[in-house]
Amino acid sequence: MTRAAGAVDRLIALYQARLSPRKGWGCAHRVAHGGASCSVAVRTLVRRRGVARSVVPTVVRFVACYQAARLLAQTDVSGVCCCGGIPIPFRFPGRS
Share of the chain above pLDDT 90, in %: 53
The answer to whether residue 96 scores a pLDDT higher than 50 is no
Number of domains in the chain: 1
What is the structure's pLDDT at 89?
59
Give yes or no for residue 74 having a pLDDT over 50. Answer: yes
The answer to the question of residue 31 being in a domain is yes
Residue 34: what residue type? G
- Predicted local distance difference test score (pLDDT) of residue 22: 84
| 96 lies in some domain | no
pLDDT for 16-54, tens place per residue? Answer: 999 888 877 788 899 888 899 999 999 999 999 999 999
Give the domain extent around 9. 3-91
Greater pLDDT, 30 or 89: 30
The reported pLDDT for the residue numbered 45 is: 96
Is 84 inside a domain boundary?
yes
Cβ-defined contacts of 79-87 (< 8 Å, 24+)? 79/24, 79/25, 79/26, 79/28, 79/31, 80/25, 81/25, 81/26, 81/27, 81/28, 81/29, 81/31, 81/38, 82/23, 83/27, 83/28, 83/38, 84/38, 84/58, 86/62
Q: Which residue has the higher pLDDT, 69 or 92?
A: 69
Read off the pTM.
0.74
**Residue 16 within any structural domain of the chain:** yes
